[in-house]
Amino acid sequence: MATPPQTRSPELRKDPVTNRWVIFSPARAKRPSDFKSKSPENPGNNSSSCPFCIGNEHQCAPEIFRVPPDPNWKLRVIENLYPALSRKLEHPNGQSGDSSSELGGWGRVVPGFGFHDVVIETPVHSVQLSDLEPSEIGDVLIAYKRRIEQIKQFDSIKYIQVFKNHGASAGASMSHSHSQIIALPIVPPNVSARLDGMKEYFNQTGKCSLCEVQSKDLLINETSHFISIAPFAASFPFEIWIIPRHHSSHFDELDKEKAVDLGRLLKLVLKKMSLQLNNPPFNFMIHDSPVQVPDSELPYSHWFLQIIPQLTGVGGFELGSGCYINPVFPDDAAKLLRELNVPIEG
C-alpha cells in the first residue's frame, strides 16, 4: 500500500528512459485525489464554421489521404495550413534537406525542410478521441503508421513526432478532435537524451529499460499487448505511459490487431484521466526511435506513448534546470487510476 502523501519525504529520482532528474515534493500538493483541472476542456459545437467537419473539406489545406477513400470518410490526413516546416525545400539546388552552414561563425543552420500534417480523427465536431470505439481509435493509429511509412521515403528526414494537443491551454487551436505529425531533418535533443538514458541502462544491465519496467505499484491497466503505468520518475502529476509489452523500436511496426488493442487501452486511460481530473486539457506524444537508428541501438530503443494532463505550470526552475518538480508520487497516482472502474466495450 502506498504511503500517504503527507507523510512522505521529498525524493529525487532519475528516470532511466528520459535521462531526467525529477524532484518529488509532496509538501507542495494537496492529496493526489484532490487534483482536478481548474479549466476543464469543453469543446465547442460550432461545426458550421469548422473546416475539419465533414462537408467543409474545401476550407482545408490539401488532403494526403482519407479513410475510407470516399465522401463519407471517417478520418482524414491533411497538410497543416500553417506548417512549422516546408515540404517544398527538399533538395534545394540539388542538395539534400539536411545540408547545413555556419551562422555568425558559431551557430548552425539547417534548411527548414520537413512535413507538418494534421490527422482529423472524426468527421463529427462534438466527438472526441476517447468517444470512439477501440477499433476506430485503432484506425487513427494505423493512419499514423501509414503516414510515417510515407514520410520515411525521404532520406533527409531524421525524426518523426506524432502528438495530440487537447484543449486550448494544451496548445490546440481547433476544438475539433485532431492530432498532428511533424517530420524533422534533425534528431531533437530530448530524443537524443532519451536514447542516451536507454543506452546507459542497457550498458549496465544488458536489458531494455522499458522491457524491464517494474509495473506492480506503477501499473494502471494492461491488455494483451500493452501496459499503462505512472512512470517511475514522472515529470508531471498523473503522467501516464503506454508501453508495448514486447520489445518494439519503431511505432510503425504496429499491426491492426495491436492497434485495436492499443486503442482500447488508450480509450480507457483517457476516460479514467477525464473522470479523476475533471476532463483536463492534455497532450500525448508518441516517443519513437529516429528514422535511421543504427542496428546497434535497436536492442534498447523502445517506443512508448506519453500522456500529460495539464494540471500544473512550468516555472523558472524547470525551464532553467531541466529538472521538474512533481507534487504527486507516481505510485499514488497509479493507485487512484488503477482502482477507478471504467468499463470499456469492444
Residue 197 has φ and ψ, to the nearest 5°, of -65, -45
Annotated ligand binding at 246? The verdict is no
The answer to whether 60 is a known ligand-binding residue is no
Q: What cell was used for 202?
A: 542497457
Q: Which helix (H) or strand (E) holds 21?
A: strand 21-24
Angstrom distance (rounded) from CA 99 to CA 86: 15
Q: Cβ(267)–Cβ(259) under 8 Å?
A: no
Please report the sign of the dihedral spanned by the C-alpha atoms of residue 91, residue 142, residue 309, residue 197. Answer: negative
- Taking alpha carbons only, the member of 228, 247, 225 closest to residue 238 is 228
Residues 6+ apart with CB under 8 A from 120: 52, 75, 76, 77, 78, 176, 177, 178
Q: Are the C-beta atoms of 156 and 290 separated by less than 8 Å?
A: no
Q: From CA 211, how far away is CA 110, in angstroms rounded?
A: 35
Instruction: Confirm if 89 and 115 have CB atoms less than 8 A apart.
Output: no
Alpha-carbon distance of 272 to 60, in angstroms, equals 33
Residues annotated as catalytic (active site), given as ranges? 178
- DSSP for 274-318? HHHHTS--EEEEEE---TT--GGGTTT---EEEEEE--S---HHH
| 208 has binding-site annotation | no
* 50 known member of a binding site: yes
Q: Indicate the annotated binding residues.
A: 50, 53, 125, 176
Q: Indicate the annotated binding residues for Zn(2+).
A: 50, 53, 125, 176
